[in-house]
Amino acid sequence: MEEDSQENFEELISEVYRAESRQAFATLVRLLGDFDLAEEMLHEAFAVAMSQWPRDGVPQNRRAWLISTARFKAIDAIRRRQRFAGQLPEIMARLQEIGDENEANAVSEIQDDRLRLIFTCCHPAIDRSVQIPLTLREVCGLTTEEIASAFLVTPPTMAQRIVRGKAKIRDARIPYVVPSLTELPERLDAVLSVVYLIFNEAYSASAGDNLTRADLSEEAIRLARLILDLLPDAEVMGLLALMLLHESRRPARTTAEGDIVLLEDQNRSLWNRELIDEGLQLVEQAMATGRIGAYTIQAAISGVHASSKTSEATDWAQIVSLYDVLFRAAPTPIVELNRAVAMAMRDGPEVGVQLIDTILSRGDLTDYHLAHSARGELLRRSGRIADARTAFENALTLTKQEPEKKILNRKLNELSSATTSSQ
């Protein structure tokens, strides 16, 4: 019986860690001014929770309890550590900002602190190649491997960037504040990139057993709404619209067993019309400003899909036109790949295969599993079964996502069955 009780508490602690740790961490970074110390003290607080909560009960406000406990642990640690000795008065003053008596305000503080920390990590003094990975790791809790996957670099390279970013903030004493309205625009691009990449990881996790991560998508949308309140910029509207339109499809994207359902096969009656309507309205508002950027164009593309009652009714000509505009605004290999798929849907699969082969022949996206997967599907539709099998096998060796592995294996099995039946 005691073992069951201990297991229940361990599960509870794990749940609390997933739900509360990054918010509490953001507040501790502001108070302590040091990423590593904040992380260490947060872990100390969770260790105390493991021993104290089974005995005394789970506190009503778990975030505030964690911050308060970590705060007292930090005071003891700072007094013992010589490298913090000169900063002790300043840090002690910060630590008084959140006390046991203001638990009601702590939750609001924590939410604001996440936004503060994002803007801190995206400070102009920090190199752009470091800003976004640092924020994804420290604010959002993505692993170094997940971030490296998003940037198509090795985990050791990404780890070095993150360490450099933390050192820059500490050594330059960059303040943990949301900048003034006049300072917001120069950081906005980086901040929106962070929110976009958070949502990308939520929409299609880079690794693991689950395709999506609802906790991250909710957080990305929440942050975008906060930013829009601060700065009603067209691209903020566009990004929020893009995320809402993608999020509207979540109920239809997987089966009850967690298997992927491709866009053309999804039950569109399951799409969330409320999110679609809000997203389309935001697209219209952003377009009306005349300051149209990459997020707004992507949202418009997603809006075409959302407005199509069936897959067959999709206006691929309009989507290709929008991708043409997007590629001029953001000429990246990923955009080029998506444009190639759209052109294949409009003009036939061989057109798409040729365009993707051009991308791969340049050395772009050779390690990107979706490029090989898309190529395989277009080859299959062209009747080039042996080439399609090779492309799907390449994609399978590159993906770390279990649902994607399952669908690729399924496609390979279907190709084998088709080959056998034709013999």
Range 337-351 burial, b when 16+ CB lie within 10 A, else e: bbbbbbbbbbeebeb
Residue 379 · residue 391 · CB < 8 Å:
yes
The pair phi, psi for residue 157, each rounded to 5°, is: -60, -45
Q: Give per-residue pLDDT as tens, 66-102.
A: 988 888 888 877 777 655 555 656 655 555 554 443 4
More confident: 1 or 405: 405
pLDDT band at 14 (very low <50, low <70, confident <90, very high): confident
Amino acid at 7: E
Distance of CA 396 to the CA centre of its chain: 22
CB atoms closer than 10 angstroms to residue 126: 22
Interatomic CA distance for residues 280 and 271, integer angstroms? 14
pLDDT band at 403 (very low <50, low <70, confident <90, very high): confident
More confident: 421 or 256: 256
Interatomic CA distance for residues 22 and 111, integer angstroms? 10
Residue 345 · residue 316 · CB < 8 Å:
yes
Residue 233 · residue 280 · CB < 8 Å:
no
Residue 283 · residue 296 · CB < 8 Å:
yes
CATH of domain 320-423: 1.25.40.10
Q: Where are the domains of the chain?
A: 1-107, 320-423
What mean pLDDT value characterizes the chain? Answer: 84
